[in-house]
Structure 1
Amino acid sequence: MIKRFTRTALLLGCVGTILGSCSKPMRSQKTGVVYNNKYNGGYTRFKKTHPAPGPGLIAIEGGTFVLGGSADQDVMYENNNNRRRVTIASFYMDETEVSNQDWLDYLHYLAITFPNDREAYYNATPDTLVWRRPLSYNEPYVDSYLRHPAFQDYPVVGVTWEQAQDYCAFRTNQINENILRETGRLASWKEVAASGKGTDQPFDTDMLLNNQYGGKAGKNAIKDLNPNAKAGANGKATRSVRMEDGILKPSYRLPTEAEWEYAALGLAGNTQFENIEDGKIYPWNGMGVRSPKRRTRGLILANFKRGEGDNMGVGGSLNDKADITAPVRSYEPNDFGLYNMAGNVNEWTQDTYRQLTFEDVEDFNPFRGNEYTNKRLSDPEKGILAKDKFGRPIKDAAKSNKKMSWAEFTAQQQGAKAPATTVAPTVNGVPAAAPAGATLAGKPFKADQRGFADSTDNTLYGVTTLVNDHSKVYKGGSWNDRAMWLNPATRRYMDQGDASAEIGFRCAMSMIGPAEINPGNRSHFSVKKPQAYKPKK
C-alpha cells in the first residue's frame, strides 16, 4: 500500500512538472514579446500580487465617512472641527502603539551600526525628563520607564514628531533588509556576521532601488536576464531587487489625521450593505465608557483619568488597572482590531495643525502638511544619488510641480540656471517676438505647502499665536486626560520638536493594489483575462 502511494505521488509530481513546463509563457499584451526570456532583452515581470502587510500592521479597508462627525461637543470652544464627508483609501496601521521595547530595538540598531556616532544615539533617545512635574514625585519614571523590563511593553513616550519620522525610516529599512537577507536575495545575517566586517554600508531602501547598495548577493539572488549583464564572482549574473519585483514593502509613516480618525472609529463593524446602523462617540459602541458585557460588566474600556485626582480608582478595585500608561495590548481592540485608539497615550499624526483645517480640504485622502522633495543627484548623467553620513539619500525641496525637461533637470542638479520656458506673445493673433527672459504665467511652485491657502499672514505665526508650520496634530486622549478627549474627532497640537509623557505614536503604511480587503461572499463583476497571443509559424 505504501509503495502504491509512493508511485502515485511520483506520477503526479511528474505530470505537474510536465504541465508546468508546457504552461504558456507570459507575454506583453501590447507587443506579444515573451517576458522573462534572456534572449529577447530579458525584461523580468513578476506575477501580479496583493502584498501582505509588514509585521505589526493590520489592514484597514477604506471608504467614506464624515470627518469630525463623531464629535458630540466642541471641546476646544473654537469651532475646531467642521464636519466634512471624505473618502479614505485602504491602508495599513499598527495594531498597537510603538512600545518601549520597539524603541530600544531602534537604539540598539544605531549603537551597532554607527558605533562612533554618539550624537545619532543621543538624538534618538526619548526625553525621559517629560515625567518631571514641579509638584509630583515622578523621578522613578525618569530613570526606569524607558529601559526597565517591567515597562518594555508599555508605549514609548517623550518622543517628538521628528523622532517618530526617523523611527519610521529606520523601520522601513530594517524590514526590507531583513526580507532580503532571510529570503537569500542578499547574504544572510549569519554570512554577514561570519565575515567579521558587518555590512558594507548601512542598508537604505532608496539606495538599493538605485543600485547603490553594495551588499553581497545571497544564494537566491535574482538572475539578471539582461543580455548585457556580466557574471559575478559566483559565475552567475545577478541583479538587485527592484520595485517591480513586488518583494519590498512600502515606507512606514505616521498616519494622517483623517486616517487616524477613520481607523479609531472602526465603523466597519457597524456597517451592513453600506448602511451604518449605529454611529459612535468612542472606538467602541455605546454612550458610556464602561463595558456592558456580562463577563466584564462595569470595567473601564480605556486608560484615562476618570476625574480630578482619580487616575486609577480605589485600591482593591482599580477601575482601569493603570496609574500611568498601560501595556499596549490592554483593553479590547476596536472593530478593525486596533488596541488603545482611545486613552493610554495620545498619538502623533502626520498633519500640520490649523484651527479650521476641514473648511478647506480635499475629499479624497485629506491631508495638510505636504512638503514635496526630490532626491539630490551627485552625478545627474549617471543617476547617482547623493547620500548623508547614514547612507540615506539627501532630499531637497522640489523645484517644479511637473516633470522637467532633461536640460532643466540637469541644470538644476548641477546648480546652474535652468533654461527659461518662453512664451510666444501675439499681436492681433499673430505670433510676435518674445521679450528676453519671458516665462510662463502663473503662481510659482512652492514645495512646502503646509500652510496652503492660509489667509493669515505667515509672519504672525509663532508670534501672536502658537500655531505655525511646525505645529502637528495629535489625537486619542491619554492616561492623564478626561473622557471627552477619547472621542476620535477631538484634536490638539504641539510643536514637532516637543515631547510629552502623554504622547506616543503608531505607524501606518500605504496599501498597494486593490482597495477591497475581505471580498468574502460579496457579488463581483468577473474580470476577464487577456486573449492569449502566439505568433503563427
Structure 2
Amino acid sequence: MIMKNFVKSCTFVFIALAMTSCNNSRDYQSNSRATGWDLSGRDGGVSYKTDYEPQEPGPGLLFVEGGTFTMGRVQDDVMHDWNNTPTQQHVQSFYIDETEVTNVMYLEYLDWLKAVFPPSEERYANIYTGALPDTLVWRNPLGFNENMVNNYLRHPAYHNYPVVGVNWIQATEFSQWRTDRVNEKRLADKGYTVRDAYQTSDANNVFSTETYLNAPSQVYGGSDSITRGGKQSDRLLKNNPDSTNVYVQRKDGELLPAYRLPTEAEWEYAALGQSSLRDYNSYRGRKKYPWDGRYTRSGDRKTVGDQRANFKQGRGDYGGIAGWSDDGADITAEVKSYEPNDYGLYDMAGNVSEWVADVYRPRVNNEFNDFNYFRGNVYTKNAITADGQVKVLSTEEVVYDTLSNGKIIARNLPGEIAEVEIGEKETYLRTQFSKSDNVNFRDGDKLSSRYYSKRSDDNSQMYNSPDNNVTLKDGEIEREYDDSSGRTTLIDDNVRVYKGGSWKDREYWLDPAQRRFYPQDMATDDIGFRNAMSKVGSKSNKGRRTRN
C-alpha cells in the first residue's frame, strides 16, 4: 500500500510539473519576453512564428552537419601546384544534393523555359537557347563521339546521368530557377496561393521568390486572385478582414532558402565525409577519398575488387575489358551506381567533376577568415524606382550577358527584381567590407599591393590574363581574340573552381582536396554540378545538448 501511494504521488508530481512546463512553454511562445505583449497575432496584433519547426530539406537534398576540418590536405602533390596548402576551416551546417544534377532534372528546366518564354518569339529566343547545354563538348577531332552529341542530353537512356556541357553561369541560373519552382509549389501546397498555380505560368505570369517576399502584389503579373486565392489565405482574411498582411513573409519560415552552388569549403567537407573517423571531438587519421581506406577498389566481401568510382584507370582504359567492366562505365555512369559516402552523397569522386561557387585563387587566405570561407562575394541590393517601389523586370527588360565565346545568356528573367551594386550608403564607416565587388579582396586589389610594379600608373597587375573581347554591334557579334605574347596566366576574375575527379581523370584527382579552375562561361564533357542550400537555425538536426 505504501508503495502504491508513493507511485501515485510521483505520478501526480510528474503530471503537475509537465503541465507547468507546458504552460510556461505556451507563455514563452505566445508572449514577448521583452514586453509581455501577445505575439500570436490575435485581435489584429503583431504576429511572430514562435513555434517554428526545424527546416525541411528541399527536394533532393541531404543534411550535412557543419564542423571544423583541414581543407586542402592532399595525399600527393605531384603537380607541385602549391594551391591546396592545408588550412583549418569551419563550415556551418548545410544541405546538399544527394546526387549530381541529372539530364532529366535539367530537361525539366529547359522545357519550363520553352513553355513560358517560347523561343519562336524573337524577344525570348535567347532565354531558351542561352540555357541549352553545349552538346558539342563531346566532339573530339580524333574521336567518334557523335552518339553522345546527339543522344546524351535527351535520350531516356541517359535521363539519370549527370548533365554536362553546362557552364558555371548556366548552373547558377538553374539554381535560381529551382529555388523559385520549389517555393512556388510549397505556397500552393500549403494553400497560400491557388492550387497548381505553378502550372499556369506564362511570360507575364511568373513567380519569383524574392519578388514575392519584397513585392507580393507584383507576382504573377499582379494577379491577386492567384497570390491570395488559396484556402489558407481565405482563412487569414476571414480572421482579419481589414489586414492586407496575408502574404507569406520571411518571418513565417514557410519559404526555403535559395538553392545555390556549394562553396569550395562546403563541397570538400561534404565529399570527405569524415564522420566515420570521428572519435569524440577529433578525427582519428585522415581520408584520401570519400570512402574509407587507401585504395579505389572495394574490399567488401560481395564486391571485392570492384572500383568504388568510375575514372580513367590508365592510358586507353576507361572501364576494363570486354566481359569485365570493373567500374561499369566508360563515360559517365548513372547516378547512384556506386556506394555513397558517410553523408549518403553519391559520386563525390568520379563520374563528373563539379562546379563550386568560388572564384579561383591559388591561395586560400585563412589568415583573414577561417569561417565559411568563400571568394566571390559581390554584394548587391534591390533596385528602387522613383516612387519608392522595388523594380520588377518586365518582359521588355530581360538582362542578358554576352559570354566570351559569343553565347548570349539571360541573367534575369521577367518577374524578377533588378539588382544594383551597393554604394557608399551601405559601406560608409563599415569595418568588415568597403565595396560591392570583393572578388579581389587581399589578392590583386590595391589594398593588397600585389602589383608587379609599385608605380601607381602601372597597370601590370598580378593576374595578367588574356583579354578576349566579344561585343554586340548592330545585331552582329564581333569577336576580338587576344593574341598578345605577354600574358603570364590564365587566372582572372572569371575563372571558377571545380572539384572532384571525373570519368576522364586519373586516380590522382579523386582526392576531394584537389582543386582546378576553368572559365565560368565555358563547358566541358566532364564537369557537372550539384546544388546546396544553407541551413537556418540550429547547427544540428538531432537536438543534442552541448557537450564540453
TM-score using structure 2 length: 0.79
Amino acid at match of 2:181: Q
Query: Measured at CA, do residues 284 and 180 of structure 1 come closer, stay the same or move farther in structure 2, by a change above 3 Å?
Result: same
Q: CA deviation at 1:161?
A: 0.2
Contact kept? 2:353, 2:528, Cα under 8 Å: yes
Partner of 1:481, secondary structure, is coil
CA RMSD of aligned residues (A): 2.9
Query: Measured at CA, do residues 296 and 226 of structure 1 come closer, stay the same or move farther in structure 2, by a change above 3 Å?
Result: same
**Candidates 106, 113, 118, aligned match of 2:116:** 113
Counterparts of 1:81-160 in structure 2 under 5 Å? 81-115=84-118, 116=121, 117-160=124-167
Q: CA deviation at 1:519?
A: 4.5
Q: Distance in 2 between matches of 1:300 and 1:250?
A: 37
2:309 aligns with 302
2:507 aligns with 483
Amino acid at match of 1:65: F
Q: Distance in 1 between matches of 2:432 and 2:302?
A: 63
Q: State percent identity of aligned pairs.
A: 41
1:497 aligns with 2:504: no
Q: Distance in 2 between matches of 1:334 and 1:168?
A: 24
Contact kept? 1:46, 1:244, Cα under 8 Å: no
Query: Measured at CA, do residues 335 and 380 of structure 1 come closer, stay the same or move farther in structure 2, by a change above 3 Å?
Result: farther
Structure 1: tracts of 5 or more residues without a match: 1-18, 232-236, 405-439, 526-537
Moved more, 374-383 or 299-308: 374-383
1:66 aligns with 2:73: no
Partner of 2:88, secondary structure, is strand
Q: CA deviation at 1:483?
A: 0.2
1:202 aligns with 206
1:410 aligns with none
**Candidates 225, 233, 246, aligned match of 1:221:** 233
Contact kept? 1:375, 1:385, Cα under 8 Å: no
Amino acid at match of 1:220: Q
Partner of 1:474, secondary structure, is strand
Contact kept? 2:117, 2:203, Cα under 8 Å: no
1:76 aligns with 2:100: no
Q: Distance in 2 between matches of 1:126 and 1:507?
A: 17
Q: Distance in 2 between matches of 1:481 and 1:316?
A: 23
Contact kept? 1:473, 1:493, Cα under 8 Å: yes
Counterparts of 1:309-328 in structure 2 under 5 Å? 309-328=316-335
Q: Distance in 2 between matches of 1:279 and 1:443?
A: 34
Q: Distance in 1 between matches of 2:393 and 2:488?
A: 40
Structure 2: tracts of 5 or more residues without a match: 1-21, 399-413, 444-449, 452-460, 467-486
1:395-437 superposed Cα distances (whole Å, 9 cap, x missing partner): 1122148477xxxxxxxxxxxxxxxxxxxxxxxxxxxxxxxxx
Q: Distance in 1 between matches of 2:372 and 2:241?
A: 42
1:173 aligns with 180
Q: CA deviation at 1:192?
A: 7.4
Counterparts of 1:351-366 in structure 2 under 5 Å? 351-358=358-365, 362-366=369-373
Q: Distance in 2 between matches of 1:335 and 1:222?
A: 45
Partner of 1:209, secondary structure, is helix
Contact kept? 1:87, 1:363, Cα under 8 Å: yes
Q: Distance in 2 between matches of 1:450 and 1:395?
A: 18
Q: Distance in 2 between matches of 1:247 and 1:441?
A: 32
Amino acid at match of 2:442: A
Contact kept? 2:354, 2:529, Cα under 8 Å: yes
Q: Distance in 2 between matches of 1:386 and 1:27?
A: 41
Query: Measured at CA, do residues 498 and 92 of structure 1 come closer, stay the same or move farther in structure 2, by a change above 3 Å?
Result: same
Q: Distance in 1 between matches of 2:312 and 2:179?
A: 35
Partner of 2:381, secondary structure, is strand
2:276 aligns with 269
Q: CA deviation at 1:516?
A: 1.5
Partner of 1:92, secondary structure, is strand
Q: CA deviation at 1:78?
A: 2.4
Aligned pairs, how many? 462
**Candidates 264, 288, 309, aligned match of 2:295:** 288
1:39 aligns with 43
Query: Measured at CA, do residues 441 and 219 of structure 1 come closer, stay the same or move farther in structure 2, by a change above 3 Å?
Result: closer
1:334-393 superposed Cα distances (whole Å, 9 cap, x missing partner): 001000000000000000111123465511011111111111112463455556442111
Q: Distance in 1 between matches of 2:299 and 2:44?
A: 67
Q: CA deviation at 1:46?
A: 4.6
Contact kept? 2:382, 2:390, Cα under 8 Å: no
Contact kept? 1:75, 1:490, Cα under 8 Å: no
Contact kept? 1:255, 1:508, Cα under 8 Å: yes
Q: CA deviation at 1:443?
A: 11
Partner of 2:291, secondary structure, is coil
